[in-house]
Amino acid sequence: MKATRTAWVFMVLAAFLTACVERYYPGNTDHLTGILVVNAHLTGGPGTQTINLSRSDGLIFPEYKPESGAVVQVENERGDMINFAESGGGDYLGDLPDDFLQEGGSYRLLLITSGGNRYESEFATLHPALTIDSVYYRIETAPGDDPGTTVEGLRFYMDFIVDPGADRFLMWDVTETYEFHNPPYEGFIYDLDRVLRPLPDNMSDRQCWITRHIPEIFTQETGNLAAGRYSMKPLHFVSNQTQRLRHGYSLLVRQLSLDEAAFRYWDNLKKNVQEAGALFDTQPSITPGNICSCDDPEERVLGFFSVSAVSEKRIFIRDVEGLEVPDRIFCFPTFQFPRLNYFRLQDLPIFLSRATWPETGEIITGETDRECLDCRLYRGSSGEPPDFWPQ
Amino acid sequence: MRHSKLAIILLLFIWNGLLSQEPARKLSLDLSRATFNEFVDQFETRTGIRVYFRPDWFGEIRVDYRRDSVTPEEAIREVLKGTGLHYGFVSSSAIVILPERRLNTSLPEILSVEALQGSSDAKREYMGINGSQYIQGTRPEQITRTITVGDPSSRTSRSVARVKGKLVHVETGEPVAGATMVILESGKGGISDQYGNVAMALAPGRYSAQFSFIGMEKLNAALEVYSDGEFKLEMRPAVIALNEVQILGEQYRDISSTDIGVERFSMKSLKQLPVFMGERDVIKISKLLPGITSAGEASTGVNVRGGNVDQNIFYINRLPVYNTSHLFGFFSAFNSDIIRDFSVYKGNVPVNYGGRLSSVFNILTRKGNNKIYTAHAGISPVSAHLTFEGPLRKDHSSFIVSGRSSYSDWILRRIDDPEISNSDAFFYDVAASMNFEPGEKNTLQLFYYQSFDDFRYAELTDYEYANRGGSLNWSRNISPALTSKVTATASAYRFRNADKSEISRAYSHEYLLNHNEVLADFTWVPAIRHSVEFGSNLIYYRLDRGVVEPYGPSSIRKRLDLGFEHGVEGSFFISDDMSLLSWLNLYGGFRYSYYSKLGPETVMLYESGKPKTENTIVDSLSFGKFSPVRFNSGPELRIAMNMKGGQNTSFKLAFNQMRQYLFMLSNTVTISPTDQWKLSDYHIDPQTGYQFSAGAYHIFPGIGVSGSVELYYKYSKDIVEYRDGADFVNIPLTETQVLQGSQNAYGAELMLQKTSGRLNGWINYTLSRSEMLVAGDTESESINHGNPYPSNYDRPHVLNLVANYHVNRRFSVASNVVFMSGRPVTFPASLYYIKEVAYIDYYARNEFRVPDYFRVDLSLTVEGNLKAEKLMHSTWSFNVYNLLGRKNPQSIFFRSEDFFVRGYAFSVIGVPVFTLSWNVKLGNYESN
């Protein structure tokens, strides 16, 4: 109760003192949903490549709507075709022969949806990769979630070499992997047999490795730069408020060399979703892709088909000097009495955990999310360390 | 003769006292086409009152008069109405009829002459006959006088005399611009120009003339015209009395002139309006007028009748000012202390102005006081200002110097954006002018203006921009019928910015625009109700688009020279303003403007039928120094018509054509300080537009209220729009970044204003639309898929209420209420996922709107005491901007946050802003 009141007072204060930027709920503006979305970016080098098909959705309660049953092919300028097979969730996987993607080669995407509509992309050219010089970080502070507050953390940067003879359009794709520990609370399961039992071993895991794609687009055009080292290209910021920097953090930066059309597409997309709301606002770009319908030229297709060579750099961080990573309480069982008598059948099984409230020493048993007992259930999580993880 | 004069003076002395002894007898009269003698006979018989008059004053006047039960005074007043004759009771049984203006010529004139000497005794007398030490709350007695024009001995056979008057302020010697002179007999009028000159052609004879101007005493004078000639008239400021405060507008002008879509203000008349942050601001005030809006609170410039910000030109003493804002539009770059008045032409623009499609803002500064040295100063939370003025040679020449500077970042700390509140800003502006009158026929004004802004936006960007320029205005009365005005101006606008957001691509960029202009303008009044204006101007533009240079040791930015641009723009113009009939006025104007971009320049040629990009360049053309790159010219018709429908009503129609040869490169919704002006060139066509407007105007007599309805339709083509992601710093080939389209704007503007009484102000409502269409051959050369879309500043409904209530002479309360439809904004059409990140699909531009804008401001003004003898007078004003603290979103934007897209509303001023400001001037309440 006390905690609630404090939070309430704080919220009221925050609303009075600040809030020149407020959340805005646009109401129902969606009217162009259900448009085919193609994410097809092939990168040089051997291995399985993924093409993803889905449909666009409304703004208010968005859902990822995978597109299944499509025929997906990639063709080179000589007419050689590679089929991509559906693997679920809108993903279509294809194994490209080693010599299929070649520097200077041109490729296009051919699609037939389950409804029989045919689509094709413009030809995209594979550009050679520039090498990443280094990836590093600095301790910085950034604005916190609550207005007026700041948080400490790491800002990642990279250096790369600008070669005016080579490609002008760069994009970086950044993926993080970090070790994650669930709290050591005792876990219980209450299932159809209506007995509260300790969690079996196969249903609990407290140490995981979570891999996520950083949801930011990083681009740089080098046409207006002279030869030399581009230093301190800012990447994302990782605050000390999560576990990311606590047990080990690995960052993979993939540098993609795009052709101009693909670069403009991603650069405009970046401006639309990351840079809106500056002091001098720009109109959002309308970002047409390079895929069109063969049957109906008026039909719009979102997304872009591109090919590029890739260079990669991975770094690993543990125990950053000068940065404190506080141990935060999370996944604490709810204070409410477990609703064991009021469940609906479809809610079963219910998971509970038992923990000690640090301020009072009181032992609390309450409902908890299953992810709090088995961290493998988090998005992008695995119970096994990845190959590159240092021992 | 001598006797009659004496009689008149005597009469005058006993005048008022006797009026009250008017007998209460009633009579009935029934006269049809009777002579005045017949009327007098009946009158004398029935009332027993003797009437003294000279029969020759009445000539052939016939009396039609049927009334029951009127008092003798009513009867005589009604019969004499319109004859220009006046009556007075010399006793309860005797009435004298005399020509009105003869009656009280001499005595008040003596009073006024003494007041002019500036002696404190005379002044005290003027303020109150009994030597009261307080300024009275009523106007002094109306002062009338006789003005003689021309030589009475000349026996000219000409039927027309050219009468030219110069109206000046009695205390400062400044010209009174925009004042009206009306000949009461004919209803004809003239309006004084910026040098205070008013010209009229009249048949020799005697007239009653009335001179009036906002904030000035109305002056009645007998005008005796013998031949061509000039006169000078000193107008006296009105002591603001409780029952008569004029805020805005010259109602006569609205009814009589062919002006349509014109707004005029005297700065003094706007003294009590609520202001933002304690800074009085002509541009903010103009946004309370119909048809003038802006994209948001912190936005530079204004949108006039659905036109872009770069379609307006701002002149201060005819000096063009290219960036009119301080601190990104929070304040205007003009210190209101030095402003005398300003006009906005948004409908029919006079032929001597051109070069912009939407409007001309003409700001005129005060002349320095040519009698005494005086000063004004003031301080607000943001800035401090000081003005000093005085004679260079008493009564002949004067100077005025004014400066304003910010001294705190108070306002930035109020903005709850950490990047803004961690920013620093500084600005100043100075203006100075000297006025000379070499000889009777010449006036000369030398004017200098400079403004400067420096803004450090967090650690990311530095902005710096400045205007600087001077003008020389020389006006000469060549003959009573012909006046010339020659103006030479040199104006420069520059900005510098440094983008430091990433050290390796950090750059600085400096831009400079020079506008040098000569203008000659002649006014010729050849005949009665006929005035001709003609002239020519020539502008030389020199734009240094600047060099983008690496900033800091780590930057590997390539140096990029955006190059120079040269161009000339000129015009010839002639207009004729005449009354064809008593109820019909015509204004016919013709302006022919021409423009040429000049070399040296290398122009890229692109593959025909393909979008212009770096990849479609096929050839190039080289132009040598001063050789024309592209010549454009065209006529600009300006036609207006005024039809009077009675004394208080008029209807007007106008057609207006405009051409614009330079524009602003801006891909932001509001103008940023790094937006470059650019000349039309080989590829980019000049913008042209035309406007039809119609208006109806009515004065509701007696209650001080006037109303107007104006309708307009405006079509402009070759309006410059920008490709998605347009870049003007990295790409010197502007034609690859811009698109040209057409703009349609139309609207109705309703205005009601009350200019007198304790409560005065105005209310206006504007219904308007503004729509763009950019439909190229391909999707990439179109905007919004080639469909029309609302322009960024389209606001269908705008309501402004300005109310000013004088509680007493020292205390007034004023309020603004502003309602506007939210401006258009592009909303997401749908959302989609790539690698589990949500992205936004934008499809239709400006299809939705930000929430409606609503704001209430309040101000309290407390004047210092009303003692006549004091060293200085001070005024406190307490202002609340956005009293309700409403968070009016300036923009709405969407950001991708992991799996969701979130919408945000950004409001610049989301809280009430309280400010207290203090102004002080030498002299008393009345001093200028």
Task: Examine residue A146 and state whether it is found in any structural domain, yes or no.
Answer: yes
Please list the alpha-helical segments (H only) found in B803-917: none
Residues B863-882 pLDDT 10s:
888 887 888 899 998 999 88
Q: Shortest CB distance from B905 goes to which of A24, A215, A282?
A: A24
Q: How many CB atoms lie within 10 A of CB B259?
A: 24
Task: Examine residue A6 and state whether it is found in any structural domain, yes or no.
Answer: no
What CA–CA distances, in Å, run from B219 to A317, B213, B240, B648, B862? 87, 9, 16, 21, 30
Which contiguous run of DSSP H or E holds residue B825?
Answer: strand B824-825
3-state secondary structure of B458: coil
**Domains of chain B by residue range:** 2-102, 106-239, 262-922
Q: Shortest CB distance from B904 goes to which of A32, A271, A277?
A: A277
Can you say whether the dihedral through the CA atoms of A20, A21, A27, A32 is positive or negative? positive
- The pLDDT confidence band at residue B109, using thresholds 50, 70 and 90, is very low
pLDDT score of B685 more than 90: yes
Do A115 and A146 have their domain in common?
Answer: no
Which residues in chain A (330-369) have CB-CB distances under 8 A to chain B?
none
Give the model's pLDDT for residue B11.
36
Q: Which residue of B831, B886, B907 is the best one to mutate when testing the A interface, meaning the one whose CB has the most A CBs within 10 A?
A: B831
pTM recorded for the entire structure? 0.80
Nearest CA-CA partner of B893 in B878, B884, B911, B905: B905
- The pLDDT confidence band at residue B243, using thresholds 50, 70 and 90, is very low
Looking at CATH, the fold of the domain delimited by B106-239 is given as: Immunoglobulin-like (2.60.40)
A94 burial class (0-12, 13-18, 19+ CB within 10 angstroms)?
A: middle
Contacts of B896 (CB under 8 A, 6+ apart): A215, A273, A274, B837, B838, B839, B840
Chain A nearest CA to B828, separation (Å): 7
pLDDT score of B131 more than 70: no
Whether A226 sits inside 8 A of B558 (CB atoms) is yes
Size of interface A-B (CB pairs under 8 A): 214
Do A281 and A355 have their domain in common?
Answer: no
Do A204 and A70 have their domain in common?
Answer: no
pLDDT score of B8 more than 50: no
3-state secondary structure of B285: helix
Per CB-CB distance under 8 Å, the chain B contacts of A34 are 830
B262-922: CATH number? 2.40.170.20
Task: Examine residue A92 and state whether it is found in any structural domain, yes or no.
Answer: yes
Per CB-CB distance under 8 Å, the chain B contacts of A225 are 504-505, 556-558
pLDDT score of A147 more than 90: no
Whether A269 sits inside 8 A of B839 (CB atoms) is yes
Whether B667 sits inside 8 A of A282 (CB atoms) is yes
Do A217 and A117 have their domain in common?
Answer: no
- For residue B15, the one-letter residue type is W
Which contiguous run of DSSP H or E holds residue A108?
Answer: strand A106-112
Task: Examine residue A154 and state whether it is found in any structural domain, yes or no.
Answer: yes
- Span of A135-149, B96-110, B289-303, B797-811 with lowest mean pLDDT: B96-110
Question: Which CATH number is A280's domain given?
Answer: 2.60.40
Give the model's pLDDT for residue B15.
36
Do A279 and A253 have their domain in common?
Answer: no
Do A350 and A250 have their domain in common?
Answer: yes
Which contiguous run of DSSP H or E holds residue B123?
Answer: helix B120-127
Do A153 and A240 have their domain in common?
Answer: yes
- The pLDDT confidence band at residue B157, using thresholds 50, 70 and 90, is low
Do A79 and A155 have their domain in common?
Answer: no
Whether A143 sits inside 8 A of B418 (CB atoms) is yes
Whether B416 sits inside 8 A of A17 (CB atoms) is yes
Between residues A303 and A167, the one the model is more confident about: A303
Task: Pick the residue from chain B with its C-alpha nearest to A260.
Answer: B615
Give the model's pLDDT for residue B86.
76
Do A196 and A295 have their domain in common?
Answer: no
Chain A nearest CA to B811, separation (Å): 32
pLDDT score of B94 more than 90: no
Chain B nearest CA to A264, separation (Å): 8
Q: What angle do CA B800, B801, B804 make, to 5 degrees?
A: 145
Torsion angle in degrees (nearest 10) through CA of A147, A149, A154, A159 = 50
CB B919 within 8 A of CB B376: yes
Q: Assess whether the previous peptide bond of B550 is cis (omega < 30° from 0).
A: no
Which contiguous run of DSSP H or E holds residue B548?
Answer: strand B547-550
B395 Ramachandran zone, left/alpha/beta (phi>0; psi -120 to 50): left
Which residues in chain A (43-72) have CB-CB distances under 8 A to chain B?
52, 54-59, 62, 64
Whether A224 sits inside 8 A of B730 (CB atoms) is yes
B2-102: CATH number? 3.55.50.30
Can you say whether the dihedral through the CA atoms of B872, B873, B875, B876 is positive or negative? positive
ipTM of this complex prediction, to 2 decimal places: 0.87
Per CB-CB distance under 8 Å, the chain B contacts of A62 are 831, 833, 838, 899-901
Do A233 and A325 have their domain in common?
Answer: yes
Task: Examine residue A25 and state whether it is found in any structural domain, yes or no.
Answer: no
B504 phi, psi to nearest 5 deg: -80, -20
Residues B342-391 pLDDT 10s:
889 999 899 999 999 999 999 999 889 888 899 999 998 888 999 999 99
Task: Examine residue A270 and state whether it is found in any structural domain, yes or no.
Answer: yes
Do A354 and A328 have their domain in common?
Answer: yes
Contacts of A232 (CB under 8 A, 6+ apart): A157, A159, B502, B503, B504, B554
Whether A37 sits inside 8 A of B910 (CB atoms) is no
Between residues B130 and B838, the one the model is more confident about: B838
Best-predicted range by mean pLDDT (B25-34, B332-341, B637-646, B651-660): B651-660
Task: Examine residue A9 and state whether it is found in any structural domain, yes or no.
Answer: no
Question: What is the domain range of residue A98?
Answer: 36-127+260-309
CB B92 within 8 A of CB B21: yes
Terminal Cα distance for chain B, rounded: 43
Per CB-CB distance under 8 Å, the chain A contacts of B724 are 268, 283, 285-287
Do A240 and A328 have their domain in common?
Answer: yes
Nearest CA-CA partner of B862 in B821, B799, B808, B921: B808
- Span of B144-158, B328-342, B346-360, B810-824 with lowest mean pLDDT: B144-158
Residues A213-262 pLDDT 10s:
898 899 998 888 888 899 999 999 999 988 899 899 999 999 998 888 89
Integer Cα distance of B591 and B863 in angstroms = 48
Best-predicted range by mean pLDDT (A328-342, B162-176, B403-417, B469-483): B469-483
Task: Examine residue A14 and state whether it is found in any structural domain, yes or no.
Answer: no
CB B920 within 8 A of CB B874: yes
Whether B839 sits inside 8 A of A271 (CB atoms) is no
Token representation of residue B726: 């347009």
Q: Shortest CB distance from A267 goes to which of B669, B725, B895?
A: B725
**Which residues sit opposite B699 in a β-bridge?**
B706
Give the model's pLDDT for residue B1.
40
Residues B380-418 pLDDT 10s:
888 899 999 999 998 889 999 999 998 877 666 666 666
